[in-house]
Structure 1
């Protein structure tokens, strides 16, 4: 039986790479993004070539109204939701010293990167528990895509670091709550990945990699993250709920 997956922020970057990896392996997908459907039609058609059912759920996950609308669209278009991948996230519009960070920037990043995923997960978890009660063979799974910024301080994008650190604890909390129900919750922490989010500072990161910033001598690609997420979704690492998988080329390892 094919499983249905919601990928937030699934129309570009890491989310799109995850979508392609799962579509190739027979999963039906609900792709969420803030752009209108006309703007992502080519992306959707490309995903459909793998033979999976693909629907688009436009909405801002920081909005309670939009979160409800997204889940209603999934129920109508796909049916039961088996897997939630919290991937959507934003960086601050301007990189500013934490002494100059504005409350508006803090609120925007925290609402999209942490508040939205938390309450989306809360609602999806309730639905998953209901399905577990109805069918003992229901296989649910939640994957949170955070960042090495959860534990690596950057004073010029502090709101982003705080949001990802919060997602790490969110992962643990839901893992504890859902563990006895047989619903695993995982965290994937990408390092520096070549996406539109890192495009503005790509040259800086390329120089750092050349100087030994990562143990694997290259920047990460969205596909590197997608492979790890697929392994989790397929249940290939079943005894690791609440744990973090770092896809960072070894940058998090302290060296002398």
Structure 2
């Protein structure tokens, strides 16, 4: 059975992805910092079924990565798909000229440093298994290419993570490991709850050609064929899952 590890898989986009993978027959490991006894985690595991496990892990703790993957593989078998989804937004939105080093470093530690080194170890594990198709999928953001000056650290972290995806794709292509960069647009999750009214008005005014908020299911629908190998020869591809938001328009 295929095994997927999804960081931040207990809620939002990550949970949507985990549900899609579980529904396709994957065993699913979800890793996050949340308390295993929290209602959020309990609800996620109930939704994912018997072939899902939860692992408490802080993605900033790179020293703990080998132990995390040891536990996952001991419990569920060899890793075949890694979805790098866990991320944080800008702690404070505001003028980038006022951005503090502390906030910059915090966002980078999760969205870039933690994501890179977990993908690195996942790739090493995959190379140690058979040569069947495997995949690594980075969930970045339209902010990898679209500027928001009030959250510069987030944009920079996602742009760098997008480059990491390209690097892993080039390094692993000959090993039958597909690597992809999915860039969600404005997605309805807990992370965007605080700006819901602002973006709803802008969507109604034409910001998103699809004329609606995106959902975790929209992102999951893009992940599934990448994880199963349907687009194996398209490794390194960037997928804008944003309802047309990032299309340049006059």
* TM-score class normalised by the smaller sequence: over 0.9
Following superposition, the deviation at residue 96 of structure 1 comes to: 2.2
Aligned to 2:237: 243
After TM superposition, the score normalised by the length of structure 2 is: 0.97
Unaligned runs of 5+ in 2: none
Aligned to 1:100: 98
1:4 aligns with 2:30: no
Structure number having the greater helix percentage: 2
Say if 1:194 and 1:219, in contact at 8 Å, map to a contact too.
yes
2:201 and 2:231 mapped to 1: Cα distance?
A: 34
Following superposition, the deviation at residue 65 of structure 1 comes to: 2.8
Cα deviation 1:10-38 (Å, max 9, x = unaligned): 00000000011111111100011101110
Following superposition, the deviation at residue 140 of structure 1 comes to: 1.2
Following superposition, the deviation at residue 251 of structure 1 comes to: 0.9
Cα deviation 1:102-159 (Å, max 9, x = unaligned): 111001100100100101111111111121xxx34x3211000000000011111100
Aligned residues: 248
Q: Superposition pairs for residues 7-156 of structure 1, below 5 Å?
A: 7-39=6-38, 40-48=41-49, 52-131=50-129, 135-136=130-131, 138-156=132-150
Following superposition, the deviation at residue 92 of structure 1 comes to: 1.7
2:10 and 2:176 mapped to 1: Cα distance?
A: 30
Following superposition, the deviation at residue 243 of structure 1 comes to: 1.1
Unaligned runs of 5+ in 1: none
Say if 2:65 and 2:121, in contact at 8 Å, map to a contact too.
no
Segments ≥4 residues shifted beyond 3 Å = none
After TM superposition, the score normalised by the length of structure 1 is: 0.94
Q: Secondary structure in 1 aligned to 2:233?
A: coil
Q: Secondary structure in 2 aligned to 1:184?
A: strand
Q: Secondary structure in 2 aligned to 1:99?
A: helix
Following superposition, the deviation at residue 68 of structure 1 comes to: 2.4
